[in-house]
Chains A and B, each alone.
Chain A
Amino acid sequence: MTSAALNHNPDSQNDSTGYNFAYLDEQTKRMIRRCLLKAVAVPGYQVPFGGREMPLPYGWGTGGMQVTATIIGQDDVLKVIDQGADDTTNAVSIRRFFARTAGVATTESTREASVIQTRHRIPETPLSHGQILVYQVPIPDPLRFIEPRETETRKMHALQEYGVMHVKLYEDIARFGHIATTYAYPVKVNGHYVMDPSPIPKFDNPKMHGNPALQLFGAGREKRIYAIPPFTRVESLDFEDHPFEIQGWDQACEFCGSDHSFLDEVVTDDEGGRIFICSDTDYCNQRFETGARQEAV
């Protein structure tokens, strides 16, 4: 949490909206901060919280928004991405929400941001100490698709009964020759809890490990918060003879020429024409501009 968030004056009202700073009332923020502290203290553990109804629909980032609203202070600089991009409609909508209700500065630059709210990606630009990455989470429990009952999965987590998860991955290998989970790939945090990294592509999983930034996860509809503190061990589940691997592309980004970032496929015509571009728009722009400058020199 930034010092700005801690020093923030709770009585300040945002005059233009008639709502409290960053929408949520201070009692709710206090409740969420307590849950965040617990989540940081027990990495990967899903802490139930009294999630509020937000003025955006459930499933559209209400959990991430509640976390962001709770930690953000007047001096923070907010970046919001969806699918890695700053200009997708839902990212625009959430960024506007905080610009309006908290009046904070916003940015598209990963480096300049102190708080980054994300859906489905971790930025390509490495994060640094003091930054906070807030994930929007649809289904927080990695065991949910194996066991739909909350009463069961809570027991399974408590007892570290994760054999079923390995069986599931093994079945993939038996059937397809590969682990067929490509996103929301389960990870083990700090050697204990198996955690859903939210539906980021497994390409991004290694970035969670030992990351200097604080990673917070908010699931609004399911009312759960969890966290990965800075420099925490995060391992993607795998087998000795089938080690974890990330996806790669034969192509490079059409714009910036990157051959190491996550690429989105864009259909250019109805005759099989395809180009590939970076999903992280800020990273792509930076590389594009740097490249253009170098060419000019």
Chain B
Amino acid sequence: MYVAVKSGEKAIDQAHSWLDETRRGDTSIPELSVAQIRQQMGLAVDRIMAEGSLYDPELAALALKQASGDAIEAIFLLRAYRTTLPRFLASLPVETNTMAIRRRISAAYKDLPGGQVLGPTYDYTHRLLDFTLLANGERASTPPSDETVEDCPRVLDFLNSEGLIESPLANSCRTQSDDSAPADLTRQPLDYPAGRDLRLQALARGDEGFLLALAYSTQRGYGRNHPFAGEIRQGEVAVEIAPEELGFPVIVGDIQVSECDMINQFIGTETEAPRFTRGYGLAFGNSERKALAMALVDRALRARELGEDVVSPAQDEEFVLAHCDNLDSSGFVSHLKLPHYVDFQSELVLLRRLRKEFEERKSGRQGPKVNTTSKPGNQDEPSMDNEQRREVKQA
């Protein structure tokens, strides 16, 4: 009796309890607490929050623990939670100009008001394994100086005051829906062409690896846009709401964000003087790589609006927006693990029939005429291997 597909219910239960055991690992090793993950795996927690689109370090740390450290699985947990939350109201736009800065650098100017502030960065570390950490030793660390960071005016504002860069409020930068509230792709289906607000939302939630690869491709010539990292800043910003009945804004909390202003190649027309263009990236937490990649891809996606030829994947809105979400992609790729017996059986039936007809033709009997000049390569054709294809062609 064939029983392989039976007892699915029992199999799932067994798999879950085995998973719990595997996640915990050796019980002679102390269990990780959510607080430890939050404190000591901060960059992982930040990525979960950024791509999970939910600012909650504790829940992100919990998700990471529950997912055995698998970022995409943790993002999934957080998103599935987020989608059930009620929405009371929208905050006011966060004002990153008044950010409490932890890090602020510009690659465009050597020195500038506010100065360059390296902050806690891995940038200039030598990537040598630190065996002190392996031996569970705490390295004596000198506390960072408590020198407060001066006010940091925005680098792109210097350029803007001279007219050297497009204004952040220029038509080309506005959302398509202008005065109305920004669109939200978690509530409304994505429609093309998407406004920049939707594009930025999709990128902010998008997979860091995918965006990084796309950003890299623009640097290698697939939609080159000559970027300079005008300013990267990281720190705390206040989130404000303005309930109608109050009539004035109140701060509901502070969040950590990473922001990147990219200065890109200039444009000019007969009627407009040449000026630099902008790309923008913003992500929750310390997610600088993500913010940089996002800014490059944002700029690449503005190709059509800026009158550039759309020739590369990073400039192609439908390509980027439809494929940047890692829950979309991991879900659909992993669904190949689900049974496809029925479709596969359908292909087998056809393939056997085609082979039978082929054998009949070969042995001289009449069969349907086969066009020998047809080209292979249609995506939708049944899964014939090359040998089979050759046989059909030779017939």
Contact = CB atoms under 8 A, between A and B. Distances in A.
Given A59-B335, A247-B346, A262-B342, A53 B8 contact: no
B80 A263 contact: no
B338 A82 contact: yes
Given A223-B189, A247-B350, A59 B332 contact: yes
B12 interface: yes
Interface string A69-98: 000000000000011110111111100100
A108 to B, nearest CB: 12
A163 B347 CA distance: 25
A151 B319 CA distance: 12
Given A60-B334, A262-B345, 17 more contacts: A57-B331, A58-B330, A59-B335, A82-B338, A83-B341, A90-B338, A120-B342, A138-B332, A148-B318, A174-B371, A178-B353, A178-B368, A183-B346, A199-B343, A221-B328, A262-B342, A277-B2
B171 interface: no
Interface in B3-53: 4-9, 11-12
B241 to A, nearest CB: 21
A275 B2 contact: yes
28 contacts: A52-B186, A54-B80, A57-B335, A58-B332, A59-B332, A60-B331, A62-B331, A82-B339, A89-B12, A90-B338, A119-B338, A145-B379, A168-B378, A171-B378, A175-B374, A177-B354, A177-B368, A182-B349, A183-B343, A183-B347, A199-B340, A201-B342, A202-B346, A203-B346, A262-B342, A263-B345, A266-B2, A279-B342
A262 B341 CA distance: 11
Contacts of B82: 53
Instruction: Give chain A's interface secondary structure class.
Output: loop
A112 interface: no
Contacts of B192: 150-151
A181 interface: yes
Contacts of A25: 84, 86
Interface in A77-135: 82-85, 87-93, 96, 119-121
Interface of A: 19, 23, 25, 48-55, 57-60, 62, 82-85, 87-93, 96, 119-121, 138, 145-146, 148-151, 168, 171-172, 174-178, 180-184, 199-203, 221, 223-224, 247, 249, 254, 262-266, 268, 275, 277, 279
Interface residues of B, number: 61
Contact of A19 (B6, B84, B186, B379): B84
Contacts of A176: 354, 370, 392
B2 A249 contact: no
Contact of B8 (A55, A88, A249): A88
A175 B369 CA distance: 9
Interface of B: 2, 4-9, 11-12, 76, 79-80, 82-84, 86, 186-193, 318, 322, 327-328, 330-335, 338-343, 345-350, 353-354, 357, 367-371, 374, 378-382, 392
Contacts of A148: 318
A182 B327 contact: no
Nearest to A146: B380
A202 B347 CA distance: 11
A87 B6 contact: yes
Nearest to B11: A89
Nearest to B347: A182
Nearest to B53: A53
Contacts of B5: 85, 87-88
Contacts of B189: 48-51, 223-224
A265 B345 contact: yes
Contacts of B83: 52-54
B327 A58 contact: yes
Most chain B CB within a 10 A radius of its CB, from A96, A201, A277 = A201
Contacts of A49: 189
Nearest to B333: A59
A175 B318 contact: no
